[in-house]
Structure 1
Amino acid sequence: MRLLRQTTALAAGLLMSVSAMAATDYNSYQEEKPGYLAMMGDLIIARPMLLAVTAVGAAAFVVSLPFSAAGGNIGEAGHELVVRPGAETFVRCLGCTRAGYGRKQQDENL
């Protein structure tokens, strides 16, 4: 029971830090103008699925941690299993197709 609580706490900590880590990896600028249907589909279908993939990836990362440490690729495993799905979940404008802050700020045009 104690191991389950520790693993859950570790996974929750990883999930909370995903958006900060992903923002540093995926900060390239891409302008997109998604429509209503793209935004609704993203909100209702894609984001919940990506959140589930991020949670499963975080759990897989925790399980694979001893093997990744033995192989010397903890960073690559964390990036592929947690950061990339997290970036697609949290660091993407609603309805956009690629990660990154793709919407222009209104103040830039003034």
Structure 2
Amino acid sequence: MNLLRTLVVASMLSFAAVAGASSGSGDPLYTIQNPPAYAMIGDLLIARPLLVAATVIGAGVFVVSLPFTALGGGVGDAGQALVVDPAKAAFVRCLGCVGEGFERQE
């Protein structure tokens, strides 16, 4: 009986070690980034305020350039580059991550 209990506990511990070694979300289509603490602190104190400022400045530049981009037909591209991309980097990305929070593996 003790041998059986020992084997069950050992198999459960080995399963937990293997499960803890994977850094995925359980879904093979997605991967989770695990940034270190210094990356989170730098992101919070330096990168996020700069990205919010870039979003605000980009929105202003987008409004000023709107008549010219409308004539050229590039309103969507200008809005994406000047407003949406910096806003995604500032508000959607997880703290300290390089990309957006969950990245789809192709």
TM-score w.r.t. structure 2 length? Answer: 0.66
Q: Tell me how far apart the structure 1 counterparts of residues 52 and 32 of structure 2 sit (CA, whole Å).
A: 24
How far apart, CA to CA, are the structure 2 residues paired with 1:29 and 1:90?
A: 20
- SS of 2:76's partner is helix
For residues 2-49 of structure 1, what are the alpha-carbon distances to aligned partners after superposition, in whole Å with 9 as ceiling and x for unaligned? xxxxxxxxxxxxxxxxxxxxxxxxxx9442101111110000000000
Gap runs ≥5 in structure 2: 1-28
Change (3 A) 1:102 1:59: same
Q: Which has the higher contact order (CA 8 A, sep 6+)?
A: 1
Local SS of the residue matching 2:34: coil
Aligned partner of residue 85 in structure 1, secondary structure: helix
Q: How does 1:47-58 map to 2 (within 5 A)?
A: 47-58=48-59
- Equivalenced residue count is 75
- Residues in 2 aligned to 1:67 and 1:30: alpha-carbon distance in whole angstroms: 40
Superposition RMSD in Å: 1.8
Q: What does residue 42 of structure 1 align with?
A: 43
TM-score of the aligned structures, taking structure 1 as reference length: 0.63
**Which has more strand, going by share of residues?**
2
The higher radius of gyration belongs to: 2
Partner residue of 2:68?
67
Q: Give the conservation status (yes or no) of the 8 Å contact 1:50–1:89.
A: yes
CA–CA separation in structure 2 for the residues paired with 1:30 and 1:47: 23
Shift of 1:59: 0.3
Hey, what's the Cα distance between the residues in 2 that align with 1:87 and 1:69?
Answer: 23
Q: Where is the helix percentage greater, Structure 1 or Structure 2?
A: 1
Question: After the TM superposition, which of the residue ranges 28-37 and 70-79 deviates more from structure 2?
Answer: 28-37
Q: Is the 8 A contact 2:62 2:78 kept in 1?
A: yes
Matching of residues 14-33 of structure 1 within 5 Å = 29-33=30-34
Contact 2:33–2:101 at 8 Å: present in 1 too? no
How far is the alpha carbon of 1:102 from its aligned partner? 2.9
Distance 1:53 1:30 in 2: 28
> Any unmatched runs of 5+ in structure 1?
1-27, 104-110
